[in-house]
Structure 1
């Protein structure tokens, strides 16, 4: 591993940036120049998405055979990590599009009939919006059976990228008369009749992700759009896949945010490098960042560029490292602020925005306490959730 201070080598190459990471570095300064303004206005990073589309970044994870960029999973993690150094909101919104693309790529590698969807994403640079994390095992809302499909109503949270989204990937509970409580997974166009994006994303951090609530009022979902049926509230085998693919991508965003905070802190205290009181603060920051880097690296390695075994043990290992990474990266940015001192409290420096943004890491599944419960049950040989 190449090390310069705390190692910031790329997971996929272990060397200088190439390919998609180089694209991120090309776009990054523009993202950084607009980050404070988007944050202050609670506005979506729309201009950044124009540039992402121009560079075909939204199709980076689509296999080259299907018209996409052919990036490996590890290369996607590096891409998001790099974007996170410049603008956390852009990186997080992009990760919420990238992880369903990556999941579709895993499915394609398994021989599932998802090639047409991936080809559409590549050809049209479609923006995917997903609500899977907030729905989790029980889902939310209600699906009612009608001729040819279902009518779905409900309010979906955390629809990142919703201001310019093209396709909503979501789910809804259905009281199946034969199978009992069932969750239906499906995709609907963001312009579907009865679908409304609410302008309500007003948050402490990650303010520019456009993660608005999405209101579904009798939206028609044809039978052909339902791609998965599963028992409600039960750990389904596909949940062994989703976190293993998605969480390394999402946590790579926060790794980039933490690395940006570390770099900013070191620049700010450069004039005090001979002050003995500064040394232990910097050392604590370095330790925390190294812990986060190791945890994220292991998450990426667990996915193994889509060759992982889709088992509970794999998902559990990812969840454990997600908690370790989220806590360590949050501590990194807190220590960066402590290192800088009172000057870091001013918005103009940008450090307080990084601190607010990093706090969002804890809310992605599984949060720490549910993860401890999940992992404890797995270690004791119990079903992970029931």
Structure 2
């Protein structure tokens, strides 16, 4: 219809940004420096507010489109994709909870849009148990904690985290809250010296008696128990996070095929390519289901278990894809300039997000047997 604005093509825009930042990826990996150029371009293009509803000042993007954008970025720079995914899943969960549960997240979403806030997650390192202590004081709590894996914290604005309050009546209670990265008592350590995803800036954050007002506590739950909040997180977050690893696998496959096309396709090379293609197809199928679960699912035990199963399958398949891409490339893949060596290191991060393999297997088994998942 004449005069009607066409919807934004977030994936095409991500492809343009990926072209721009590809040249920086190797340098950030070598220097262990934060992917500042990628973050700057994503912010300039409005990606950090993409999932905020238009009515609240955001981009009104679809979740699948943003996951697709993360995947595109991951093909050239896994660190940019993974760091951005950590902000993305927090915004996605807040928007879902506002729409479907009437949760009080509108204020946060409006701030993300108006102030272009960059959110930082500590969820993976906390999970059900959480970490750190909350001491009750007048008007609020004093939080003391070490929060590792705080991706993007160097350019982050608000840490979304939790700590444990030993309630004299109810016992250990996990408190959820946000902490400004520039608040008194918050320190970024120089700790992110790792195998892969070196540009994510996932340093440990130290919280030294940081004050959090009672009114800033956004949620309370029993420590170590599954809670509806985590069913929402399980349904949504890992589709965004693992889009980054899917992108790494895409990029490795593409590079391996470029190298293979310069060689005579003997039976051994064809076998290696076929194995790589199968692993990549398995990853893609799991990726598509994870996104479908996040878009159309209902949070709960069965949905969480299915999403976590996909997370393990996708992790294994992306690692398998990149490993086989090295086989396809042969000796050429051993050179850093080719990019497969970095992809092989980056994709190893897929092993470590919750639920890791053994806890995921246990959850799937408990669900299959009808057992209490908190047992």
TM-score of the two chains, using structure 2 as the length reference: 0.96
Tell me what 2:86 maps to.
96
From 35, 41, 57, the equivalent of 1:67 is: 57
1:163-205: CA deviations, max 9, x gaps?
0110010000000112111100000111110010111100000
Deviation of the 1:124 alpha carbon = 1.6
**Counterpart Cα distance in 2 of 1:169 and 1:273:** 53
**Counterpart Cα distance in 2 of 1:206 and 1:222:** 35
Tell me what 1:106 maps to.
96
Q: Is the CA contact (8 Å cut-off) linking 1:374 and 1:385 kept in structure 2?
A: no
From 29, 39, 46, the equivalent of 2:36 is: 46
**Counterpart Cα distance in 1 of 2:34 and 2:265:** 42
Which structure 2 residues correspond to residues 198-277 of structure 1 after superposition, within 5 A? 198-277=189-268
Cα RMSD of the aligned pairs, angstroms, is: 1.1
Deviation of the 1:18 alpha carbon = 6.4
From 339, 343, 346, the equivalent of 1:354 is: 343
Matched, 1:310 2:299: yes
Q: Is the CA contact (8 Å cut-off) linking 1:273 and 1:279 kept in structure 2?
A: no
1:6-47: CA deviations, max 9, x gaps?
xxxxxxxxxxx9611011011111211100000000000112
3-state DSSP of counterpart to 1:86: coil
From 333, 340, 344, the equivalent of 1:344 is: 333
3-state DSSP of counterpart to 2:60: coil
Structure 2 unaligned spans of 5+:
1-6
3-state DSSP of counterpart to 1:112: coil
Number of residue pairs matched by the alignment? 368
Tell me what 2:324 maps to.
335
**Counterpart Cα distance in 1 of 2:329 and 2:67:** 29
Structure 1 unaligned spans of 5+:
1-16
**Counterpart Cα distance in 1 of 2:206 and 2:364:** 34
1:302-347: CA deviations, max 9, x gaps?
122xx42111100000000110010011000000001111110111
3-state DSSP of counterpart to 1:160: coil
Which structure 2 residues correspond to residues 79-94 of structure 1 after superposition, within 5 A? 79-94=69-84
From 169, 174, 180, the equivalent of 2:171 is: 180
TM-score of the two chains, using structure 1 as the length reference: 0.94
**Counterpart Cα distance in 1 of 2:198 and 2:285:** 28
**Counterpart Cα distance in 2 of 1:31 and 1:312:** 40
Tell me what 2:4 maps to.
none
Tell me what 1:36 maps to.
26
Deviation of the 1:243 alpha carbon = 1.2
**Counterpart Cα distance in 1 of 2:230 and 2:105:** 18
Q: Is the CA contact (8 Å cut-off) linking 1:375 and 1:384 kept in structure 2?
A: no
**Counterpart Cα distance in 2 of 1:90 and 1:273:** 35
Tell me what 2:144 maps to.
153
